[in-house]
Every structure is written in C-alpha cells, then in structure tokens.
Structure 1
C-alpha cells in the first residue's frame, strides 16, 4: 500500500538489531512493512521473521516472502503467539511504537484533529470501545486521570469539565465535535500542541497502549535468547521513559536490583547509552520522525 508509512530510523534500528542470516526475528509493529523488508534483506534462506499487527489494513503491505509470518494480533500476546507457531526463542525483537502515517492520514479513522471524522481511534476495528464511547461515558474523574496521565495536560480537570459540559447537550461523536467541545479551554497560542496531547491521551487509553508495551517488554526477556537484541523506537516521553527504565533495570521504575554483595543485577547490556535520534537528512525527508527516540540492548 503506497504511502502507508515511512519507516523511521530504518538503517540505525536494523543495524542495532545485528541480524544474523540464519536467525529468528520479531517485528512487533509491521505497519507499512518498511522495517520488516529491511530485516528480510539481511536474513538468509534459513532465517525467519514474525511480524505483528492488529490492524487489518496492514495485511495489504505484506511482501511475498516465505520467511515472513504475519501475525494479526496485538504485540501484547508476543510470547503466546510465537509459541503457537513453535517459536521458543528469538535472536532479536524490534518495535516501532506510536501511530503510523496511515492512521493520521486516513481521516475516517479519527486519529487526527485535522478534519472531521467519526471519533474512533481504534487500532483494531474488529472490536472494543471507541474514543466516542470513552468521551461520552467516562466520568469527569476518569477523564481527568486519562488526560493527565497519558496527555500530560497541565489542567486536565478543566478539559474534562469542558467535555462533560458539552456532552450534556448531545453526544460527542466526531473529531470536530470534540475539538468544539474543548474550545473554551484550548490555549489560543498553543492550539495544535494542546489538541495533539488531547488526542494522544484518548488514543492511548482506547488502545491500552502503555499496558500493551509493558507486557511486550516483560515478555521480551523470556523470548530473547542470551545475546539476543531488543531495539525500540518511541515517540513520546511516556513510552521512552518505560523503554529506558526497562533496558536499564529490567523494570519500569528504573531502580536497579542488587545481589547480596551489592552488585547490580540487570538483564541487559546497553547498546545505546543515549537515545539515537533522526539525522537532519531524515528530518527533512520525514518531518514526522522528529520525536523518534531509538534505544537498544543485548540480553545477558
């Protein structure tokens, strides 16, 4: 599907994965298939690649390659889905988190505040609640938590109050109606930034993104063989903080456990002391890559 998504930090992420021709690899976020195709270029005839994507639209991007196994599932089911296919260990796992360009550009999916579309935001449209369900049914307290935790808005209670007040006149069913509902509390000089955070918060909650990421990271430790590599591209501070802490400590607080003798007990050796960011050339070619942060590590 042309134009579905431009892969970010493509060469950098695949290089950090250290692909072995005969190895078994996992792409947790198939999307447009850019990273998948690049990994396949490094694999030999005996290599295998398992790619996850819960969005049915992504299947149209599948290359005709017998080494590729596309798994139409959320990556939170990483270990179980691989075991069903006889895979116990992997040599590397790659995740390009966030939302693909396709989701933003496909206005009817409701991920963008630019334009007017049904307030959906589901990555997997086969079931589950939509953003409209959330906006119209959540209490003011629930909305405050969501907007504060996932959108990091400065005054989430004010935004929640705007939404609750607006929906008393009728349900909020489209992206345009949501933008209008929060207009009284939208900063005039930072409208785009504010709406980006608002839509991000709702999208993360609708899709359970942070919980799915935690589950996938925890399972990666059980799936990766010793010496296997984990590379993750994050796009906002919430994701990046989780990834950074996990690679550093094996947990999500960042606190490193120590043994009886006070020696640090960590499951990974870091490959990136600082996050890898897009080059100026990539930023010029793909402005949407500007917030990308790549981190990688080797399992001990």
Structure 2
C-alpha cells in the first residue's frame, strides 16, 4: 500500500500554517503531513519520529527544504526537546497522527501485521522489549489484561490460555504462529475482521507504550505551543481518541462540567490552556473512505492554545495492565 496521509486537507485546515511560523510533525513517517505543511506556507517544520527507517526520507527533506526543515530522532513525547534543539521556546502548531503507518505494516520484517509471515517484533524504534518477549515471558493473567484493555478483546482470557499452552511446547516467535494460535482460540470463521486483529493491536500498543507516549506528548504540546498555537491530533483507536478528548476537554475547562453543548458548565480549577475548535471529532469524507479504507476509524480533534500557564503534568498509569518497564527489566 502506498503512503496515504489520512485526512490531509482537514489536518491542514486545522493547523493553518502561515509564512514565518514554526510547526511540528510528531509522527513524521513517510513525510506526508510534513511535505503538505511545508508546501502550504513559507514556514519552518520540526519533524519527530522514533522509527530509524525514516532516515532516507529525512535526508530527502533536508536536501529539498534546507533550513526550513529539522529532525529529531525519538518518540513524539520528546517534542519539547525537539523544539529546544531547533533554538525555539514556542511553536505555532503541533500535529500528531497516532498509530502504526502503512509503511510499517507493509514491512513484514517489522512484525506489525499477520498478513505476511515475519518475526513477532512490533517495535517502532527497534529497541527494548518486543512483542515476542511479551508473548513468551508475561504471565497468563498479564497477557489477558493486555488483550482486554488495549485490544478490547472479549475472549482475552481464552486467548491467553491458548498462548501459554502453545509457548510451553515451543517459543512463539513469528506473526503467523501467533495469528494461528489466536484464530484457534477465538474461532471466527465468519468474522468480518481477522480474529487476531485485536490481539495484534493490543500487543503493538503495549510494546510501544503508545498511550503513555500520547499522554506525555499532549502535555508537552501544551508547554511548547505559543498563544493561538494549534494542536491537531488524529487517532485510530477508541482508547487513544478517548484520551485526546479527555485531555482537550479538561484543558478547556469543560471536563465533567455537565450542562449542554449549547450551555456548557465550566469546571473549577486551573485556568483553561486550550479552547476547543470543534466539540465533536472530525471524520474522513466519503471520497477519502473510498480511496483509503484505513481512514474509516480515524478521528481528528483540534484545540487552540490560550495564554494560560501550562498545567502540571500528571504521571500516566494505565489501570489493570502490567507496565512495560516490568517486562524490560526482566530481559
């Protein structure tokens, strides 16, 4: 599959880049958003990505855009460091496209997909614990919790039982091995999606600490955005969208406030650091859905920075799931 930047026109409309401004693409990937932002106005752009395979694209951008483009190798939670490296204190826009890219899915050796046999890896950075480490080392209960919380897999305990039984005979090291085990556990010959889809999604989110990264990135964006700076986030998973929605509503002073959408009740607390551009998430057009099925689960949310000081960042803890640090410490 060729690279298709999801809801590109909506992202540009939300970001509204202007000449002389500085923006940040926290999920550079194949550079779809970055190229469009740089092409829309004479602005500067800071790109961030922890995937080492994007280096070829980064070199192309440096050659093409010169000093208007800079790159930081690391997770998007480090966007504050990326801004500091560029010599700036504040920027005018941040865009985040959360989740795995089609470029990563298409590389069988990365182990993100079961459509092609490959090593059970799933690490975006290529470092730390892999999906295979999780599958072969975590307890049955820990695996069941990961499948249920991150994948919303209703048969999580049965899948975990099958995994532990299978790994007792031989280690599970490939995508097709795991997909076959999950298929046997769930059944689902007549399911619209492959029965292993939710389990693979859960493992990917766990191995890359995606929700923790998102929580830290949202707080970092709050600190680096200048007044009137714009935060644009595209998500593909209900947990991610819920986190973004909760963050934006809380920071706009509306979390848990009751009332109606026409007459919201503000919550007492720190001064609002964002105002909401739209109350509901933006979704892809019918035309885009026909061209790119991956867009069907995408939701876009936009918030605009106020002049209020940033809130204190809270430590992210996902209830009911073993922390990734425990697995990494055991390796």
Same fold per TM (> 0.5)? Answer: yes
* 1:226-237 equivalent positions in 2, closer than 5 A: 226-237=227-238
Structure 1 distance, partners of 2:41, 2:74, is 23
Residue aligning to 2:274:
268
Cα separation, 1, equivalents of 2:32 and 2:221:
22
Matches of 2:187 and 2:273 in 1, distance apart?
Answer: 44
Aligned to 1:123, what secondary structure does the other structure show? coil
Q: Which residue of 22, 27, 30 maps to 1:29? A: 27
Asked whether 1:74 is paired with 2:55, we answer: no
For the pair 1:225 / 2:226, whether they are aligned, the reply is yes
- The question of whether the paired residues in 1 share the 8 Å contact of 2:183 and 2:195 is answered with no
Query: Does the 8 Å CA contact 1:249/1:267 hold for their aligned counterparts?
Result: no
- Residue 287 of structure 1 is matched in structure 2 by 293
Q: Which residue of 2 aligns with 1:259?
A: 268
Give me the whole-angstrom Cα distance separating, in 2, the residues matched to 1:25 and 1:286.
26
Specify the SS of the correspondent of 1:143. Answer: helix
Q: Contact 1:110–1:120 at 8 Å: present in 2 too?
A: yes
**Aligned residue number for residue 48 of structure 1:** 44
1:16 to 14, 21, 28: 14
CA contact (8 A) 2:255 2:267 kept: no
Following superposition, the deviation at residue 237 of structure 1 comes to: 0.4
Preserved contact between residue 28 and residue 93 of structure 1 (Cα < 8 Å) = yes
| Other-structure match for 1:204 | 205
CA distance in 1, matches of 2:233, 2:24: 12
Does the 8 Å contact 1:6/1:32 carry over to 2? no
Deviations 1:33-79 (A, max 9, x none): 111011001232xx321011111111222322120112111111111
How far apart in 2 are the matches of 1:141 and 1:80?
A: 37
TM-score relative to the length of structure 1: 0.92
How big is the shift at 1:89?
Answer: 0.4
Q: Quote the residue 2:139 is aligned against.
A: 139
Q: Distance in 2 between matches of 1:97 and 1:123?
A: 12
Q: Return the offset for 1:265.
A: 4.4
Q: CA deviation at 1:4?
A: 5.2
For residues 150-185 of structure 1, what are the alpha-carbon distances to aligned partners after superposition, in whole Å with 9 as ceiling and x for unaligned?
001113111111111110001000011112222332
SS at 2:115 equivalent: coil
Alpha-carbon deviations, 1:260-289, whole Å to 9, x = none?
Answer: 8xxx94321111221111111111111111
Instruction: Check conservation: 2:22, 2:91, Cα contact below 8 A.
Output: yes
Find the counterpart in structure 2 of residue 158 from structure 1. 158
| Structure 2 segments unaligned to the other structure (5+ residues) | 258-265, 307-331
Aligned to 2:54: 58
Distance 1:258 1:269 in 2: 14
Q: In the alignment, which residue of structure 1 is the partner of 2:171?
A: 171
Give the count of matched residue pairs: 291
Aligned equivalent of 2:303, options 294, 297, 300: 297
Between stretches 145-154 and 59-68, larger displacement belongs to 59-68
- Displacement after TM superposition at 1:80 (Å): 2.1
Q: Which residue number in structure 1 is paired with residue 251 of structure 2?
A: 250
Work out whether residues 32 and 58 of structure 1, in 8 Å CA contact, stay in contact via their aligned partners in 2: yes
